[in-house]
C-alpha cells in the first residue's frame, strides 16, 4: 500500500505550497492569507520510484472548541489518524509560537512518525535560526523552502525511509508472474462487490447487506483457482465527493484509492438496475489513470428486461467509451451466473498486462504502420519514427524513438496503439505509448 503523509501546522506556514511541491500540481489554493485551506485535500506524490499519498490540512488549533476552527481541527485529527507519517510544518521566520507547542503536544500522543519541517528558511543560517525549534521536543528541525524547493527532497526521503527498503526495490524487478494476482473489486456502494467475492469463496466471508456503505475498509482475502493464486480485495463503494459526510467514510475513500493503485487487475462492477452513472465514469477514469488492467462486469443482469439492457448498453458506449479495450460481461452474483467467463476475462487481462513484446517485432510493426500511413507534417518537417521497444509492464509501455516526435498527433498515437493491440491481443489493459526524440548533436555548436 502507498504510504500516507499528512501535512500539519498552524495557519499560513506554507502547508499548501509544500503540498503542491510534493504532488507537482497546483491543486491546493495558495495565497498570503491565513485559514485559506479548511478541508483535507488528497494528492499523489512520487519521489524517484516511490509513490505516496499526501494530505493537506487547514490551520490546526487543537484546543479550539467552537466555530469553523473546531471543524478544521476535526479534519486535521482525521488526517493524522489516516497518515503513516506526519510532517509538522512551522514558520522558520516567525519562530516558535504557543500554538506550535500545542500542536507538538498533540502529535507526541499520536504514536505517528513526526518530522519537523522549518519552512521559509531560504537564505537563513540554519544552526542559529532553527535552534529554538528544538524546544518542541520533536527532534532535529529540517530546513526547507516549499516555494523554492530547497530541502524538500531530503525531507520526503526521511519521511519515506521506514516504508521503502532495498528489498522493496528488488521486489519491483521480480517476475510479475511469480506473485499472486491482486484483484480489486471496485464500484459504487451497494452494487454487489462483497456478494460477488462471497460467491467466489463459497462462504459468507464478507458482510453483505442491502445498505450502501456496509464495507468500510479494503479487505484482502487470499484465494486460489486452477493453480493460480489471487488476492481478492473488496473495496468500499465510492460515492460522489459531495455525498460523503462521515469521517470514517472519507477514510474508506483513501483506502479504496490505495487498493486500486496497488492492484494488478481491477474489476469494475456496475449495477444493471441503476445504469451507468457519472460516478461510475469517475471510478473508471481513476482506474485508467492508475494504469491497471480492467474488466467490466454488469451485476444483477437477471433483474432487468430487454429494453433496460439495450439502454444500459447505449449508456456504456457513451460514458465508458475510453474503456473500449476492456471486456464486458453480464453476471448475477447471487445466482452465480456468468462467473466462469468472468474468471477467463480476468486471466486474459492479467496476461495481456504482463505480455512481453520483443523489440524486433515492435519495430517491424512500427515500420509497417508508417508505410501504411505516415504521420502528418509539422511545418517543413515530418516526424520520423525509427524503432520501438517495450518500456514496462502492467500497464504495457511502448517507447518509440525518432526525430521530431513531439509533433506526432494524438490521433496518430491512437492509430499506432490499435496496430500494437491487434497484433499482441492486448485486451483488458491500457497501453501507454511514449515518444523520445533524438537530440541534434550540432545544436549546441550552432
Q: Quick one: 340 and 420 in the same domain? A: no
Give a yes or no: residue 307 inside a domain: yes
Kindly state the DSSP code that residue 237 receives in the 8-state scheme.
Answer: P
Q: Would you say residue 216 has pLDDT above 90?
A: no
Same domain, 82 and 186: no
Look at residue 223 and tell me if it is in a domain.
Answer: yes
Q: Tell me: the pLDDT tens digits for 380-433?
A: 778 889 899 988 888 899 999 988 888 888 899 999 999 999 999 999 999 999
Q: Find which of 235-249, 278-292, 341-355 is predicted with most confidence, using mean pLDDT.
A: 341-355
Residue 376 counted as domain residue: yes
Does 211 reside within a domain? yes
Same domain, 276 and 186: yes
Q: Which of 352, 383, 413 is the last residue of a domain?
A: 352
User: Of 144, 166, 188, which closes a domain?
Assistant: 166
Number of domains the chain is built from = 3
Note whether residue 95 is domain-resident. Answer: yes
Residue 20 lies in a domain: yes
Do 158 and 191 have their domain in common? no
Alpha helix (H) residue ranges in 263-338? 278-290, 306-319
Residue 158 falls inside a structural domain? yes
Q: How far apart are CA 374 and CA 185, in angstroms?
A: 41
Say if residues 255 and 235 touch (Cβ distance below 8 Å).
yes
Report pLDDT for 243: 45
Whether 121 and 21 share a structural domain: yes
Lowest mean per-residue pLDDT among 6-10, 71-75, 175-179, 368-372: 175-179
Q: Say yes or no: 233 and 267 in one domain.
A: yes
Q: In this structure, what CATH number is given to the domain that contains residue 343?
A: 3.40.50.300
Same domain, 149 and 16: yes
Determine the average pLDDT of the residues in 26-38. Answer: 49
Domain with 134, as residue range(s), is 4-166
What is the rounded average pLDDT for all residues in the chain?
80
The last residue of a domain, from among 352, 367, 387:
352
For residue 152, pLDDT over 80 is answered with yes
Say whether both 153 and 231 belong to one domain.
no
Q: Are 271 and 392 contained in the same domain? A: no
Cis ω for the linkage preceding 7 (within 30 of 0):
no
Produce one character per residue of 199-233: b if its CB has 16 or more CB atoms within 10 Å, e if not. bbeeeebbebeeeebbbbebbbbebeeeeeebbbb
3-state secondary structure of 172: helix
Residues 316, 429 share a domain: no
Do residues 145 and 209 both lie within one domain? no
**183 and 154 together in one domain:** no
Place of cell 463503494: 237
State the Cα–Cα distance between residues 37 and 11, nearest whole angstrom: 9
Q: Is the residue at 397 inside a domain? A: yes
pTM as predicted: 0.58
Amino acid at each position: 500500500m502507498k504510504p500516507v503523509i499528512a501535512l500539519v501546522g498552524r495557519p499560513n506556514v506554507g502547508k499548501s505550497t509544500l503540498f503542491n511541491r510534493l504532488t507537482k500540481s497546483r491543486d491546493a489554493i495558495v495565497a498570503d492569507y491565513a485559514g485559506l485551506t479548511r478541508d483535507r485535500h488528497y494528492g499523489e506524490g512520487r519521489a524517484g520510484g516511490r509513490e505516496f499519498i499526501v494530505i493537506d490540512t487547514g490551520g490546526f488549533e487543537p484546543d479550539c472548541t467552537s466555530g469553523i476552527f473546531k471543524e478544521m481541527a476535526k479534519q486535521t485529527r482525521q488526517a493524522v489518524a489516516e497518515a503513516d507519517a506526519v510532517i509538522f510544518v512551522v514558520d522558520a521566520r516567525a519562530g516558535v509560537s504557543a500554538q506550535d507547542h500545542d500542536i507538538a503536544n498533540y502529535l507526541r500522543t499520536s504514536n505517528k512518525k513526526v518530522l519537523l519541517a522549518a519552512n521559509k528558511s531560504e537564505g537563513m543560517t540554519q544552526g542559529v535560526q532553527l535552534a529554538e525549534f528544538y524546544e518542541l521536543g520533536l527532534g532535529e528541525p529540517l530546513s526547507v523552502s516549499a516555494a523554492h524547493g530547497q530541502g524538500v527532497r531530503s525531507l520526503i526521503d526521511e519521511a519515506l525511509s521506514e516504508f521503502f527498503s532495498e528489498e522493496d526495490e528488488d521486489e519491483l524487478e521480480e517476475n510479475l508472474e511469480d506473485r499472486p494476482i491482486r484483484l480489486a473489486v471496485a464500484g459504487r456502494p451497494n452494487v454487489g462487490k462483497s456478494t460477488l467475492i462471497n460467491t467466489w469463496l463459497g462462504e459468507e466471508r464478507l458482510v453483505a447487506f442491502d445498505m450502501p456503505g456496509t464495507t468500510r475498509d479494503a479487505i484482502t482475502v487470499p484465494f486460489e483457482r486452477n493453480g493460480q493464486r489471487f488476492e481478492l480485495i473488496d473495496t468500499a463503494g465510492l460515492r460522489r465527493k459531495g455525498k460523503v459526510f462521515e469521517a470514517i467514510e472519507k477514510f474508506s475513500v483513501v483506502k479504496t484509492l490505495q487498493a486500486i493503485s496497488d492492484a494488478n487487475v481491477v474489476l469494475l462492477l456496475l449495477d444493471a438496475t441503476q445504469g451507468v452513472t457519472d460516478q461510475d465514469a469517475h471510478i473508471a477514469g481513476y482506474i485508467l489513470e492508475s494504469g491497471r488492467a480492467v474488466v467490466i462486469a454488469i451485476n444483477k443482469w437477471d433483474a432487468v428486461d430487454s429494453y433496460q439492457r439495450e439502454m444500459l448498453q447505449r449508456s456504456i458506449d457513451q460514458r465508458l467509451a475510453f474503456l473500449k479495450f476492456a471486456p464486458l460481461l453480464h453476471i448475477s452474483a447471487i445466482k452465480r451466473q456468468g462467473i466462469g467467463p468472468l474468471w477467463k476475462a480476468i486471466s486474459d487481462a492479467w496476461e495481456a498486462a504482463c505480455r512481453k513484446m520483443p523489440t524486433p517485432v515492435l519495430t517491424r510493426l512500427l515500420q509497417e504502420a508508417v508505410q501504411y500511413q505516415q504521420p502528418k507534417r509539422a511545418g517543413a518537417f515530418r516526424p520520423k519514427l525509427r524503432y520501438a521497444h517495450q518500456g514496462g509492464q502492467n500497464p504495457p509501455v511502448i517507447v518509440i524513438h525518432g526525430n521530431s516526435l513531439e509533433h506526432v498527433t494524438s490521433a496518430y498515437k491512437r492509430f499506432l496503439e490499435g496496430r500494437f493491440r491487434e497484433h499482441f491481443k492486448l485486451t483488458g489493459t491500457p497501453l501507454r505509448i511514449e515518444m523520445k526524440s533524438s537530440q541534434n548533436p550540432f545544436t549546441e555548436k550552432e
